[in-house]
Each structure stands twice: as C-alpha cells, then as structure tokens.
Chain A
Amino acid sequence: MYARANYFFMPYINILTGSGGLAVEYINRGVVWAFLLFVIIYTIFSAILLYHWRRFSMRAHAFGVAEMVYLTGSVVLFAGAIMTLLATMV
C-alpha cells in the first residue's frame, strides 16, 4: 500500500523539491505548482458553495442531489487532470 502511494506521489514530490527531473522540458515545477494552486482555489470555492447549500437549503431535497452530483463530477474531472499530469511525467 505504502509502495503504491509512494509510486503515485513520488513524481510530484520530486518536482516540488527539485530532486527529480521530468522527461520533458515543458512540464516543470511551475506547472505542478500552478495545478496545486488551482486545486486550493477550487477547494475553497467548493467549500463556500457547499456551505451555502447547507446553510440556505432549508432541507430541500434538491441540494442533497446537487451535492452528490457536484462532488462526483469534481472527483472525476480531477482524476482526469491528475492522470494527464502523471502521464506527462513518465
């Protein structure tokens, strides 16, 4: 399990710490940092959005469904982005 996690995250850690290189010159630390920044901004906005839904929903069923759809969609899209990023690092 640890080895698998290590395999998954090592390329990012290498880039961020500068200890590892990438196979291509286009993708440098800047791209990964920019992606991480985007993840942080996206997470903040999502948290605000979900806070609104919880606070103002008045227990409406629609918000429960919306929450599920939104989170599932976000996870799928992030999975696609991370896999693409990983693919470029091989």
Chain B
Amino acid sequence: MDLHEGEVVLKEVRKHWFIMAIRIVGSFFAAILPPVVYYIGAGTFRFHAEGEISSLILLAYWIWLLIVWLSFFVWWTDYYLDAWHITNERIIDIEQIGLFHREINSVPFNRIQDITTEVSGVLETFLRFGDIHVQTAGERRTVIIKNADDPESVKKFIFNQMVEMNLVVSESSVGRDGVSGPSAK
C-alpha cells in the first residue's frame, strides 16, 4: 500500500473479531472431528485398529491437523489483510480473497457521496458489527466492508474527517438529494 507524501493512516477498520472467532471454533471442531468419528465408529461397528493400521490412521490424522493448521492461517491472513485504512486524504479499501486475489481501491474523501451502515441480526446488534457502504462518484459506485467492527463509529470518524477537510458542514448534509457531501462545499 503506497501512501502519498504527508498522508498518514488515522484508522484501520477490520472485520469484527466474532468473524475470526467463528473460524477458530470451526478449526477446532475440524481438528477434533476425526477422533470423534473414529471412536463413535469403533463403538458402533466394534472395530478396533491395531498395529500398523492404527499407525496409518494416526499418520493421516497428523496430516489432517497440518491441513487444518494451514487453512486456519490462510483464513487469518484473509481476515487481517482485508481492511480499510482511513487516512487524512482517503479511504483505502483492501480486499484480500484467499492467497491469490488482492484488490485495492482508493476513495478520496471528496468523491464520497453517502455513507450508510447496516446492522441486521441479533448477534450483529449486540456485538455491534455490520456492513458499511460508501457511495462514491467514481467508477466503482459503492465500496463495502462487510461485518465491520462498530460501523457507526467508523461512519462518524469518516464524517468528522470530511468536516475537518471542509467537504461537508455536518453529518446531515451528506447524502441529501442533490447536495450530497463533497460537492456541497
């Protein structure tokens, strides 16, 4: 990510920790699933692996654990690198999908037309996470960060930044028909 001269990152916005927690729990269950299935199967079908077969099963299980371990860190990379960096000039939207797809979009504050947040669901409401949509005048009309941590405060932060840059007078002046944000200056 290249920053302009004098540009500083003021805030980093990531997905809520709950999204990562789900993956941690998922990885944990994936790790313990084979022995659970084995013991249930062994009990049901009165099967008992001995000697070399049990060693082979154990080897397969070690390999399975390595796959789960690697997958978990690929997910973590996806979670950690998928972020918004709010600078004193713009929003830099970095979208990391897996290991081989990375998209970087830059939205200068003066191109922002509207910002909306969407928090829907019980968990989202209580844990305070949701989507933030930034509508722009650019080629890519809307930039979205899904499951962002505390979307309302992020929205306020961006508005405050825009007010500081004299792009809007107040939060309410953004997104009003015809006189939206930046051009309302």
Chain A residues at the B interface, C-beta cutoff of 8 Å = 23-24, 26-27, 31, 35, 38, 42, 45-46, 48-49, 52-53, 56, 58, 60, 62-63, 66, 70, 73-74, 77-78, 80-81, 84-85, 87-88
Q: Is the interface of B mostly helix, strand, loop or mixed?
A: helix
User: Are B76 and A27 closer than 8 Å at their CB atoms?
Assistant: no
Chain A nearest CB from B49 CB (Å) reads 11
Q: What interface size band does chain B fall in?
A: 20 to 34
Provide a sorted-by-A list of 13 A–B residue pairs whose CB atoms are within 8 angstroms: A23-B52, A26-B53, A27-B55, A35-B63, A42-B66, A45-B99, A49-B70, A49-B73, A49-B74, A56-B96, A56-B102, A77-B65, A88-B59
Nearest-neighbour CB distance to chain B for A18, whole angstroms, equals: 19
A22 nearest CB across to chain B (Å): 9
Q: Give Cα distance in the complex from A56 to B81, angstroms.
A: 7
8 tightest A-B contacts by CB? A81-B62, A24-B52, A88-B55, A84-B59, A77-B66, A84-B58, A80-B62, A26-B52
**B22 in the interface (beta carbon within 8 A):** no
For the complex, what is the distance from the CA of A58 to the CA of B94, rounded to whole Å? 13
A residues within 8 A CB of B102? 56
Interface: B80 (CB within 8 A): yes
Majority SS at the chain A contact face: helix
Tell whether, in the assembled complex, residue B70 and residue A46 are in contact, meaning their CB atoms are under 8 Å apart.
yes
> Can you add 17 more A-B contacts, CB < 8 Å, to A24-B51, A66-B73?
A26-B52, A27-B55, A27-B56, A31-B59, A45-B70, A45-B99, A49-B99, A52-B81, A56-B1, A56-B102, A58-B1, A62-B80, A70-B73, A74-B66, A74-B70, A87-B55, A88-B52
Interface string of B1-29 (1 = CB under 8 A from A): 10000000000000000000000000000
Given that A27-B56, A66-B73, A66-B76 are known contacts, is A84 also in contact with B99, CB under 8 Å in the complex? Answer: no
